[in-house]
Amino acid sequence: MNQFIHDKEFEPFVSESKIQERVKVLGAQITQDFQGKKLVLLGILKGSYMFLSDLCRAIELPLEISFLRISSYEGTQTTGEVKQVAGFHDDLSGKTVIIVEDIVDTGISMDYLLKEIKKYQPADVKIATFLYKPDAFRFKYSLDYVGFEIPNKFVVGYGLDYNDLGRNLPELYQLVNSQ
Ligand code: HPA
Ligand code: MG
């Protein structure tokens, strides 16, 4: 069923069952890849909360959960600006940090995050993103765990918002064409 959020219409794009299936696969890969490491899942607020919540339950390893808040988006267009809005004081030194994001599109936020996180002297930094828009991506760094590669169209649901609404939808929707 289509969703009307603020002034826009969104149509179903990736179903809840497809999402759940994919997140389980990513969790199994992470379980394989980080045996014996001091693992931290670092969720980037607000968008990653739902992905992180499912992903952490699909990883069968001891791990810590941390959150960091940055904001870079208003409406359906990127502002191109990244600003850190909340202090972060957790201890990441010597730990393997997996940055958990809802989406990597231009890659500007993640580029900024990679530099910031390295200042905390982690043993290693990896990236897990629920969505990736390769057509929008402007950087060279590699994304270690990607849920879905999607076209460069605005989406909502599963943690992603359109002007603060739509995050609680359990599946993913995309903007209806011609808007
Ligand atoms: N939807 C919601 N938030 C976003 C998107 C999107 O497609 N891209 C970057 N932030
Ligand atoms: Mg947003």
Which CATH number does the domain housing residue 115 bear? 3.40.50.2020
Q: What percent of the chain is modeled with pLDDT above 90?
A: 87
| Closest-CA residue to 105 (of 145, 139, 68) | 139
Tell me the pTM.
0.94
With respect to residue 179, please indicate whether it lies within any of the assigned structural domains: no
With respect to residue 87, please indicate whether it lies within any of the assigned structural domains: yes
With respect to residue 157, please indicate whether it lies within any of the assigned structural domains: yes
Both tokens assigned to 13? 């794009």
Q: Which atom of ligand 1 is nearest to the CA of 154?
A: 7
**Has 105 been annotated as catalytic?**
yes
Range of the domain at 161: 3-174
pLDDT tens digits along 93-111: 999 999 999 999 999 999 9
Structurally, the chain folds into a number of domains equal to: 1
With respect to residue 154, please indicate whether it lies within any of the assigned structural domains: yes
With respect to residue 69, please indicate whether it lies within any of the assigned structural domains: yes
With respect to residue 42, please indicate whether it lies within any of the assigned structural domains: yes
Q: Residue 72: its pLDDT value, please?
A: 57
Write down the catalytic residue from 7, 91, 105, 111: 105
pLDDT tens digits along 118-130: 999 999 999 999 9
With respect to residue 143, please indicate whether it lies within any of the assigned structural domains: yes
Helices in the chain by DSSP H: which ranges? 16-33, 49-57, 108-118
| Ligand 2 center from residue 166 Cα (angstroms) | 10
Q: What are the angstrom distances between the C-alpha of 4 and each of 8, 46, 48, 58, 136?
A: 6, 21, 22, 32, 25
pLDDT tens digits along 36-84: 999 999 999 999 999 999 999 999 999 999 999 986 555 666 666 666 6
Sign of CA dihedral 153, 68, 86, 49: positive
